[in-house]
Chain A
């Protein structure tokens, strides 16, 4: 029986004692196998951030290596680093996954009450230093291919927060630039014919008059 992955630390030790060391995987680290066969370890608490891995743990099929098709080692290591960093402060209720797929599937509005009024002076917008770490994480990525691979692998593993982080980074690269600059920044090929381009330009000309 796979234990619920909530108290990973204490459960790990209990299980290892109780099971008499029967399996390293029970309560141990998960092993993610990259495309080329290298294994990247990920602790259970960090794996909770990935909906896919969490479901696998719950279903009890997280023993042995978990192959991740299409992921190379560098990207997996980055993903693992992100998960390890964010795992202690991960709150499934507040995470992006809930925003993507909310229940009920319509917005519920309450009248703002007096306790909803927040103080004007910001106490500390980044209490655990996570946002600064995220910014550094993204800026440390060597090039666009690393960023896009990261998004793809995070999408595969269903880590919504990391997908959002990556998408926001790409969107930041697109914002405030002319179309030519965007093409240069993201290596996009211009497949318009001159007539089509002129037509699209005409359609959107009103936004560019300044």
Chain B
């Protein structure tokens, strides 16, 4: 904005003086400025509304914009309009309130400026940005300690998904050796995430209780938690549907379509033959899925000979629950389906979801795995002796 040398109100008047005293703003430096800069007369040259607003009000406007934006472009378009908005839009207060949708960076758009943006939001204290950047750094960029530190920061702030991701990392010993697995720490993190209502964490904790994995074995409580997870998922799905004003999207399965068919998102409903449209995967998971897909496509295009850092048949597998997107950090980190041995899962929650969704139709028992696979790896969903040994 061109600065206008308009006249200023020198004496603030009674009301303004009281305003100066009574209001305690955290951005007190900005408020001090605003008392002087605040009300300039508009010259007849043309309207200049934003110039008339003091900085703290423009910051409020930008903060509201950040909190309601649905894509990064909503938030960043403002930077391109004029210098003052560029400067104010870069204020920490605005980035701290950026909505989760505005932080949803696409894998195709990943670049240095995108990383800087996420880093700024994370530094400003935006928990969602800490989580997304932590996941990207840990799994996609391979920076284990940096990624884990960001995840820890989000988790300390109470971000349920970050707590759950840290729990998965602890359960698998990701980023370290197999002996670095810490089942009790993982279960504790999972419990905290479950207390905040995270569906996957509820499921994971339910399975842990049923099997005595990292916690004292309590099958009844575990069963209760699994039911609670289903109920919570249903609640979230229905309130999302209500919020988006769609007609209630629960559709009964066609009688022929049957059990394994098109797979709606909620196991509770699908048991009774109803389905809901599946929930959107989280931005971080979507990023990882797209990231691995693009890496594989680049490799399949013959750009590089099979490098050890990527490659799906070769060394490190992806979680077979396609929406999860996590990848192993060392060989044989994820556990296999004990029946067929072809599917690998990062956690029980992923295994349970994928079973209903897709794997039940594809799982074909292979005789040789029943002997070798269970003993070696400790398969999920079977091999009770193997799991008791792990306690």
Interchain CA distance A144-B346 in the complex, whole Å: 54
Interchain CA distance A163-B53 in the complex, whole Å: 12
Q: Give how many A-B residue pairs fall within 8 Å (CB-CB).
A: 169
Which chain A residues numbered 44 to 85 have a C-beta less than 8 Å away from chain B?
Answer: 51-52, 55-56, 66-70
When the two chains form their complex, are residues B197 and A69 in contact, meaning their CB atoms are under 8 A apart? no
Contact with A along B227-243 (1 / 0, CB 8 A): 00000000100110010
Interface size on A, residues (CB 8 A): 63
Contact with B along A164-180 (1 / 0, CB 8 A): 10011011101111110
Q: How far, in Å, is A176 (CB) from chain B's closest CB?
A: 6
Residues of chain A with a CB closer than 8 A to B65's CB = 171, 174-175
B: contact size bracket: 35 or more
Q: How far, in Å, is A133 (CB) from chain B's closest CB?
A: 20
Per DSSP, are chain A's interface residues mostly helix, strand or loop, or mixed? helix
When the two chains form their complex, are residues B76 and A207 in contact, meaning their CB atoms are under 8 A apart? yes
A168-B64, A183-B81, A188-B1 are known contacts. Are A152 and B18 too (CB-CB below 8 A)?
no
Residues of chain B with a CB closer than 8 A to A101's CB = 24-26
Interchain CA distance A168-B154 in the complex, whole Å: 28
Contact with B along A124-149 (1 / 0, CB 8 A): 00000000000000000000110110
Q: How far, in Å, is B74 (CB) from chain A's closest CB?
A: 5
Contact with B along A112-127 (1 / 0, CB 8 A): 1000010011100000
Q: Taking beta carbons and an 8 Å cutoff, which residues of A are in contact with B?
A: 51-52, 55-56, 66-70, 100-101, 109, 111-112, 117, 120-122, 144-145, 147-148, 151-152, 155-158, 163-164, 167-168, 170-172, 174-179, 182-183, 186-192, 196-197, 200-210
The 10 A-B residue pairs with the shortest CB-CB distance in the complex, in nearest-first order: A69-B13, A179-B80, A207-B72, A171-B65, A171-B64, A148-B49, A206-B114, A204-B76, A206-B109, A167-B61
Report 14 cross-chain contacts, Cβ distance below 8 Å, ordered by A residue: A109-B158, A117-B235, A147-B49, A152-B39, A152-B52, A152-B57, A170-B61, A171-B61, A175-B65, A179-B80, A182-B78, A205-B113, A208-B76, A209-B108
